[in-house]
Amino acid sequence: MKTVDMKFYTSLLMLVVLIGIAANIPLSVAAQAKPNILFVLVDNLGYGELGCYGGGITRGAATPRIDQLASEGMRFTNMNSEPQCTPSRSAIMTGRFAIRSGTYAVPFGGVADGLTQWEVTIAESLSASGYKTAYFGKWHLGSNNGRLPNDQGFDEWYGIPRTTDEAMWPSDPNFSTSYMPVEKIMEGRKGEQSKALQTYDLDQRRIIDAEITNRSIAAMEKNVKANHPFFVFAALTQCHIPALPNPAFAGKTGNGDWADMLTEMDYNVGRMLDAIDRLNIRKETIVIFLSDNGPEYVQPWDGWAGPWKGQYFTAWEGGIRVPFMIRWPGNIPSNKVTDEIVHNVDLFPTLAGITGAVVPNDRPIDGINMKAFFLGQTTKSGRDGFPIWVGDRLQAVKWKHFKAHFYHQETMISEPEKWALPHLFDLYTNPREDETKLLFSSWLIGPMMKMIGAFEASTKRYPLIPMGTPDPYTPPKSGNSQ
């Protein structure tokens, strides 16, 4: 009897000890498997705009909060994107080059725009993994019910379905709704149809980023209170044309609308970061700050790509190389700067790798899981290059610090001109891609064509989805073969 009692009390004592240990595990350790994610995507912010990338006060406005975020985590000098708004957002959401998804260019009406429901988004994957998901801001991946954020994995959303220049339409004396419907600010919830709230005009353009920030903070507060891991995607509309500041920031810098807008952007990011600290979830939250593509071309709101040539809608480095930083205290190294190549298609598989979410295996995924690189377990990224499309035109390819252009296109409104031979550039010695300083190392075409060949081979097994493809989309049988 005493033996039985001793075993019982021994087992009971072990249970008490284990409970005591579990009770004292810090929340940051317990939450490692499913960290919160705040993803801040800004619109058309050039490489050279922020202080930590050589801008800030040289652009008329310091950016202390974003610069501090960069110092608290990892800052990338070689993050690459698709060169237009819709393609880059598609790549982020799916981990696939936009040419695969029929989202390779900004849509201009008359077609079924956006992602087909067959595509699997990062929000769908994280939602299936137990995350609460929210999207606030500019979407640009579908204008109608069936293709809005609440149809693509987000529990809730608020924002504009398309883009910001449409805010100028109502004030144009030649505009009439008999020609084109005005863009509406919308909101919706998963399982329901989204509803229009009000017209997106110039007055709303000035204040929408404040509302995006407010709603992003409220979503974080709600989910922390409910003890849910969250994925909050704050897609700010600045600095897209027209880059008009909130009235509270108009005239604040004395350096014009653009500098006032940059100050506003920094303030809004700071508010979201302050909310994370107030909620005491800094160590449990991954914060990402990213621009969707290179800077504006249209004056007087044109931006600056720093040392690089070009703007969005081009394959120049200025069109594709963008600001990117990521913070996760205790996991991602702080005050780290890297020039390793990363592409925005890599974010889906990387975040899935960190959180345990699932990446689809029935289609090509162009992104690479960079978890080990982001966490400082290796100093090398898993990528050494990628092809570059402008629209549906394969315009260039980048490999290590070399680049080949197959077309010349100076700006977004220039006619592309196909070269008889690829033009080769060394980005270390010729960062401006000056055509008077071409390389004549033809061996470089070998590894570049190998990447292109691998992509083209994949399209034979998994055909590209044409732009304007309606739902429901079913891949051809060749796309389903394993």
Q: Hey, what domains does the chain have and what are their CATH numbers?
A: 32-174+184-385 (3.40.720.10), 387-480 (3.30.1120)
User: Mean pLDDT score of the chain, rounded to an integer?
Assistant: 92
Share of the chain above pLDDT 70, in %: 92
Q: Is 140 a catalytic residue?
A: yes
304-349: pLDDT as tens digits = 999 999 999 999 999 999 999 999 999 999 999 999 999 999 999 9
At 20, the pLDDT band (50, 70, 90 cuts) reads: very low
Residue listed under structure tokens 């897209």: 240
Mean of the pLDDT values across residues 196-200?
A: 98
> Which is it for strands 184-189 and 385-390: parallel, antiparallel or unpaired?
unpaired
Q: Is 52 a catalytic residue?
A: no
Instruction: Give pLDDT, residue 432.
Output: 97
Mean of the pLDDT values across residues 384-399?
A: 98
At 33, the pLDDT band (50, 70, 90 cuts) reads: confident
Catalytic residue among 140, 240, 343, 405: 140
In the structure encoding, which two tokens stand for residue 352, read together?
A: 């899935």
Mean of the pLDDT values across residues 142-165?
A: 97
The angle formed by the CA atoms of residues 83, 236 and 96, to the nearest 5 degrees, is 40
Instruction: Give pLDDT, residue 109.
Output: 66
443-463: pLDDT as tens digits = 999 999 999 999 999 999 999
Mean of the pLDDT values across residues 230-251?
A: 98
Instruction: Give pLDDT, residue 8.
Output: 39
61-116: pLDDT as tens digits = 999 999 999 999 999 999 999 999 999 999 999 999 999 999 999 987 667 799 99
Q: Give the sign of the dihedral formed by CA 148, CA 154, CA 157, CA 159.
A: negative
- CB neighbours of 295 closer than 8 A, spacing ≥ 6? 44, 45, 46, 47, 48, 49, 239, 302, 303, 304, 305, 311, 312, 318
Mean of the pLDDT values across residues 242-263?
A: 97
In the structure encoding, which two tokens stand for residue 409, read together?
A: 């296109």
Catalytic residue among 52, 85, 239, 240: 85
